[in-house]
Amino acid sequence: MQAVILVGGEGTRLRPLTYTIPKPLIPLMNRPFLSFQFELCRRHGITDIILSTSYMASIFQEAFGDGSSLGVKLTYVTEESPLDTCGAVKNVEEHIRGPFMVFNGDVLTDLDLSAMLAFHRQKGSVTTISLTPVEDPSAYGLVPLDDEGRVLEFLEKPGPDDEIVTNLINAGTYVIEPELLDRVPAAQRYSFERQFFPGLLAEGLPVYGFPSDAYWLDIGTPAKYLQAHHDILDRLLPFDFSGEEVFPGVWAEEDTVIEEGALVSGPCCLGRGCHVSSGAVIRGHSVVGNDCCIAPEAVVEGAVLLDGVRVGEGSEVHGSVLGRRVRLGRKVEVRDLCVLGEGVAVGDHNQLRMGLRIWPEREIAPDTLHF
């Protein structure tokens, strides 16, 4: 079995992080997000993986090489211009040798791939779509099934007067029979959701849905990206922490120093080579990247800091994401889902709130922003 992972999107909802790191490579728990998908595939015996790249294509190969260090064999195929989800799979057709799986490159899940494949075979399905239940079906396109699990139709987002017939939505993982690619036009934009799947139904082909209660999260927005960290720290899905558990629920990798007098409470994790000064506070649900410095009296809570971040004396970061090499001066406050791009420097006594996003390498002069 092979897997095709779609990693070519621009990740606009996660800007400014995605200006300098493509979404599938943004660290989750200090590891490139895609490594979670490789690990899931490996657990189910899928090691032959094709990465369909477009946006920032060369960075993927630099990050993973041939995949051997991660226990997988990677093939990279790059589009000259983005071909949308199904067009991207058509573009890798020459590497496909049998039925294959497709993954959106931004979904964190512990879906039972082996069970999904067994279901696909048992039903004689030509395409099987993983489905996940959602609490508010009115916000999504829905996929109702018959009693056998066969897809009846693909519904657009229901309007206020429409009856809600199911709470199942497309979870972005598919099993596909290879001959179906014959009906996809080459070198053209083509969508699974809007064109390919509805086309199969129109022809009366057996398309099945595989509903699952497995953990599932699309990490594509800042809120979901933070939530993915919180959920892993809360052990909602399997994860092997790196480094050492230095206090209960506090994991730190090598060369990280937590000075006496610093208060670090779990669940949280710190990468390599960090320095947490005496008087600093790191509260639960925080993830600190490699080579970060947290100065005295600084507070980090429910936040994600990528590599090389410096949080100045008395500054506070709550429920926000700081990109690589962000520097906060003294007494800066960052709260409520702000996202600071790579290399942003915030001068002393600024307050950043209400989901502010600051583009990479910008500098904010001291005492400029207040709420």
Span of 98-106, 154-162, 237-245, 290-298 interacting with ligand GTP by CB under 6 A? 98-106
**β-pair type (363-364, 345-346):** parallel
Does residue 220 interact with ligand GTP by CB under 6 A? yes
Separation between Cα atoms, residue 348 and residue 329, nearest integer Å: 5
Q: How many residues at the interface with ligand GTP, by CB under 6 A? A: 21
Residue type, 248: P
Exactly one of 2, 8, 175, 344 binds ligand GTP (CB under 6 A); that residue is 8
* Residue closer to ligand GTP (CB basis): 323 or 329: 323
* Residue closer to ligand GTP (CB basis): 27 or 271: 27
Separation between Cα atoms, residue 358 and residue 56, nearest integer Å: 21
> Cis ω on the peptide bond leading into residue 267 (within 30° of 0)?
yes
* Host H or E run for residue 209: strand 207-211
Does residue 10 interact with ligand GTP by CB under 6 A? yes
Does residue 333 interact with ligand GTP by CB under 6 A? no
Does residue 12 interact with ligand GTP by CB under 6 A? yes
Does residue 300 interact with ligand GTP by CB under 6 A? no
The DSSP output letter for 213 is: -
Q: What are phi and psi of 340, to 5 degrees?
A: -110, 125
Exactly one of 1, 13, 241, 283 binds ligand GTP (CB under 6 A); that residue is 13
Q: What are phi and psi of 129, to 5 degrees?
A: -115, 125
Separation between Cα atoms, residue 32 and residue 306, nearest integer Å: 11
Does residue 16 interact with ligand GTP by CB under 6 A? no
Cβ(133)–Cβ(211) below 8 Å: yes
CA 263, 268, 269, 273: dihedral to nearest 10 degrees?
A: -20
Residue type, 371: F
* Residue closer to ligand GTP (CB basis): 10 or 177: 10
Does residue 130 interact with ligand GTP by CB under 6 A? no
Span of 11-19, 129-137, 157-165, 175-183 interacting with ligand GTP by CB under 6 A? 11-19
Does residue 82 interact with ligand GTP by CB under 6 A? yes
Contact positions vs ligand GTP (CB under 6 A):
6-13, 23, 52, 54, 79, 82-85, 88, 104-106, 220
